[in-house]
Amino acid sequence: MLDQLHEMETKALAELAASQTEAALEQWHVAFLGRKGALTELLRGIGRLSAQERPAFGQEANRVKVALEQAYEQRAVAMRQAASQLQLAREQVDVTLPGRPVGPGHEHVSTRTLREIYDIFAAMGFQVVEAPEVETDINNFQLLNMPPHHPARDMWNTFHTTREGLLLRTHTSPGQIRVMRERCPEPIRVILPGKCYRYEQVTARHESMFYQVEGLAVGERLTMGDLKGTLISFSRQMFGPERKVRFRASYFPFTEPSAEVDIDCVLCGGKGCRVCKNSGWLEILGCGMVHPNVLRNGGYDPAHYTGFAFGMGPERIAMLKYGIDDIRYFFANDLRFLQQFV
């Protein structure tokens, strides 16, 4: 049986050297070192040997097994290295070739709309001011005329943090309180852009994260007429001088009186279509005269000062201006959508 063992070793090494592919190498391993391989079959015949022959045969069989396993590993490593070298040769980079040009970036449609809003209000004397996105419950609700458990809080689905009293702002209105307390008793004319967050189901018309632009003006003789003139001028500069504008009575806890602002539909010209739900009008923002309680919380005496405020969503403005029918496109990072605004 020793002769058979040596013949098997010689045959195995010869076939291993002739293996050129990983598949052939795997077949070799099964044929000689597998559970039903040649070496295993020889080891099963050890019972037919005499007691004196068994130790020598077992020792030699172990030597052959170790030798074949080492030869197999060496061959496998050599084949992997050869395959790697071949792949590198095929995929090598020709450094003399000219590089592929990288296309220039461009403004996101939300950024473009925000900058248009900035420019329009800057011409009217409004300054851009930023406020934090993580707010206190006091600024976000209580100082805006919504004490704890006030039913008006249901208008905003709020993301609360693990720290009591802190939340992700649901609107940019808490910036009003911050600006008034910083600048009182000076007159104010500012816009406060930024991201807002609401715990809402994401649909074609609603997102859990979105931009808003808050506007605030405070002075000694500001009236509803000043508010209307400001927003009519904005609407016609943003959507075209031919736009019709209307104000509808509404409710916000931090303004009194309050209103919603509509423009005649930019698509059908007010005749009625699917986009405007056949009403001929499209809502663009909410507004109103600052509530006396909010003025008082900001440090201004409502007996001597008045103010107006408004809030709008840049994504909604962009949807109306460019005919976009799904707000989810703005944050989906789909280049097919974004490259339309190059």
pLDDT tens profile 112-163: 999 999 999 999 999 999 999 999 999 999 999 999 988 888 888 899 999 9
Residue scoring higher pLDDT (269 or 82): 82
Q: What is the mean pLDDT of residues 72-78?
A: 88
pLDDT of 103 strictly over 90: no
Q: What pLDDT, on a 0 to 100 scale, did the predictor assign at position 28?
A: 85
Q: At 226, is the pLDDT very low, low, confident or very high (cuts 50, 70, 90)?
A: very high
- What are 4-50's pLDDT values in tens digits? 778 888 888 888 888 888 888 888 888 888 888 887 887 777 777 77
pLDDT greater than 70 at residue 202: yes
Q: 187-191, 237-241, 316-320 — which one is most confidently predicted on average?
A: 187-191
Mean pLDDT (the chain) is 89
Tens digits of residue pLDDT in 302-320 = 999 999 999 999 998 998 8
- The confidence band for 1, taking pLDDT boundaries of 50, 70 and 90, is low
Residue 2 has pLDDT above 80, yes or no: no
- Using the Cα atoms of residue 122, residue 236, residue 327 and residue 203 in order, give the sign of their dihedral: positive
Q: What is the 3-state secondary structure (H, E, C) of the chain?
A: CHHHHHHHHHHHHHHHHHCCCHHHHHHHHHHHHCCCCHHHHHHHHHHHCCCCHHHHHHHHHHHHHHHHHHHHHHHHHHHHHHHHHHHHHHCCCCCCCCCCCCCCCCCCHHHHHHHHHHHHHHHCCCEECCCCCEEEHHHHCHHHCCCCCCHHHHHCCCEECCCCCEEECCCCCHHHHHHHHHHCCCCEEEEEEEEEECCCCCCCCCCCEEEEEEEEEEECCCCHHHHHHHHHHHHHHHHCCCCCEEEEEEEECCEEEEEEEEEECCCCCCCCCCCCCCCCEEEEEEEEEECHHHHHHCCCCCCCCEEEEEEECHHHHHHHHHCCCCHHHHHCCCHHHHHHHC
pLDDT digits over 167-180, tens only? Answer: 999 999 999 999 99
Largest CA distance in the chain: 119
Q: Which amino acid is at 141?
A: F
Residue 331's pLDDT band, with cuts at 50, 70 and 90, is confident
Please tell me the least confidently modeled range out of 129-138, 227-236, 260-269.
260-269
What pTM, to 2 d.p., does this model score? 0.67
- In the chain, the percentage of residues whose pLDDT exceeds 90 is 49
Q: Which CATH superfamily, name and number, covers 109-341?
A: Bira Bifunctional Protein; Domain 2 (3.30.930.10)
